[in-house]
Amino acid sequence: MPEYSYAAERADFQSLLSMGFSEIEAAQLVHMKDHVTEQTEYREILQESRRLDFIRWLIDHDRIRS
């Protein structure tokens, strides 16, 4: 997980304000940016778990051998 950087977040926030976003919109965009990585990691873990479940099913039903 990336380290929290208040300075970078503040710079992003200020940049968004200078582009014409409202404070609420800028705050939401910064929040989304900070959490996109977490969501990606979660999806990757979920996909890997499903692959392993499928492999277990194949082994349990003698479709492949371990």
| Residue numbers of the chain with a pLDDT score lower than 70 | 1-8, 66
Give the distance from CA 19 to its chain's centroid.
Answer: 25
The pLDDT score that the predictor gives to residue 41 is 86
The pLDDT score that the predictor gives to residue 32 is 87
Q: Residue holding tokens 């992003």? A: 12
The pLDDT score that the predictor gives to residue 3 is 47
The pLDDT score that the predictor gives to residue 5 is 56
Contact 12, 36 (CB under 8 A): no
